[in-house]
Every structure is written in C-alpha cells, then in structure tokens.
Amino acid sequence: MFHVLVIDDDTSFVRLLEKRLKSFIEDLSIYHFSSLAEVRAFLKTETKESFQLVFLDQHLPDGSGIDLLREGWFENLAVISVSSDDAPDMPGENVKAGAMYFLNKINLTEPLFKPLVCGILDRNKIQQEMSDIKLNTARMETVKTLVSTLRHEINNPLGAVLGAAYLLKNSSDLKEDQKEAARLVESSGKRIKHVLDELCKAISLEPVSKAEQRVFHIPGDKPWE
C-alpha cells in the first residue's frame, strides 16, 4: 500500500490528483484533510512512516500549508507544495521551509507531472539511504577511534598488571591467601584483556601503527610522542 497525505480543501482538485496518481501508483491510499487543525490532530497519532508522499496546499481555511512545514511535521518526507496561486515568492518560501518541490495546480494535468513525482520520490529515497550510510559510517569510525585509543591507553598498564601477577603467583614463599590474591589479580586482568580483545575483534580493527592511529587524547595526559 502506497500512502499519500493530501492537505487541500479543494475537493475537485483532490479527486483529480487521486485519479492522476492512480494512473501510475498501484495500491494507492489517500489520507485527505481539509484544514491545518485536522492534519495536526492526525499527525499527532501517526508516525511519519505511515505515508510516503505529501501534497500540501497553501490556502487552507485556518492558515497556510507552509505552516506545517515550518512546524517540522514532515522532516525527511517528500513534500510537494501546491497552489493555484502564482505568487512569485511562494515556490522559494516553500522550498526553504522544506518542500522538495512546488507545483502550480495546473501542472497536475501536464505530461511532466508523473515523471516529476517519480523523480522526487526516487530522490527522497536516495537521500534517506545516503543519510543512513553516513550515520553508520560516523558511528563505526567513532567506535574504531575510541577502541583504538583505549587499547593503546590500557594495554600497557594491563601488561604490567598481568606480568606482576604472574611473578607473585609463582613465588614459592607466598602464603596461600597471598597466592589467592595474586590469582585474583591475574584472572581479573585477563577479564579486562578479554573485554578489550573482543571489542577489537568485533570492529575488525586492523593493527595500525601509533603514528597513523586516530585517537582521543586522554585529558590530563601528555600528548603522545
């Protein structure tokens, strides 16, 4: 089901729009509202994933459609603002407020309508995908940087902990409770090492030399040499 939100109080335009959209969109379902108040009430109960395309008229009984754009209801959605008014400021204002395109209502019956709507939908999908990829890349790079930093900062003192624990554990002249304490140091140190190793494995961290590593500087420490 392809859901389109149409916000317009001109019912004959809405009927025509539905007919045009049905000619190239299968399983079309239209949510139609005639005032800003109705749309706001609807949007409060719906998630943005409920529909894929918005047609937004400008002159509504209780205000202008551009208000909904400015209120941020349609972030990441393909919004096409429409009007029968050809006020020269309207297309620019709507694009600035977040519409992907502005159409005069007469464009509805022109041959450009179908390919333009399809192009807008395709573009919006591509934009969302690119945005998701960028976010995931940023997350992965951050994890790599942080884990790489931690591995460097923690591995040296951890090596000292494990080395000293090994020496103590193998001293022949320790009492049993002291050996037990040394074993506890060793097992706890290995546990910390395991956590770091698994994190490194999980992010497939390639071994890189210190000079090439991007790391967070631990506050209060001297910078690396």
Restricting to residues 10-69, which ones interact with a copy of itself according to CB under 8 A?
A: none
How many other CB atoms sit within 10 Å of the CB of residue 51? 21
Return the C-alpha torsion angle 71, 45, 33, 55, nearest 10: 50
State the burial class of residue 220 (Cβ atoms within 10 Å of its Cβ: 0-12, 13-18, 19+): exposed
Binding letters toward a copy of itself, positions 103-122, x by CB under 8 A = -------xxx-xxxxxxx-x
30 vs 90 by CB, closer to a copy of itself: 90
Q: Provide the minimum distance between the beta carbon of 45 and a copy of itself in the complex, in angstroms, as a whole number.
A: 25
* Contact between 72 and a copy of itself per CB under 8 A: no
Q: Where does this chain touch a copy of itself (CB under 8 A) — which range of 24-32, 33-41, 175-183, 204-212?
A: 175-183
* Contact between 70 and a copy of itself per CB under 8 A: no
**Please, are residues 161 and 185 in contact by the beta-carbon 8 Å criterion?**
yes
Q: Where does this chain touch a copy of itself (CB under 8 A) — which range of 17-25, 28-36, 155-163, 204-212?
A: 155-163
Q: Provide the minimum distance between the beta carbon of 123 and a copy of itself in the complex, in angstroms, as a whole number.
A: 5
* Contact between 135 and a copy of itself per CB under 8 A: yes
Q: Provide the minimum distance between the beta carbon of 219 and a copy of itself in the complex, in angstroms, as a whole number.
A: 5
* Contact between 139 and a copy of itself per CB under 8 A: yes
Among 181, 205, 213, 215, binds a copy of itself (CB under 8 A): 181
How many other CB atoms sit within 10 Å of the CB of residue 188? 13
192-211 binders of a copy of itself (CB under 8 A):
192, 194-195, 198-199, 201-202
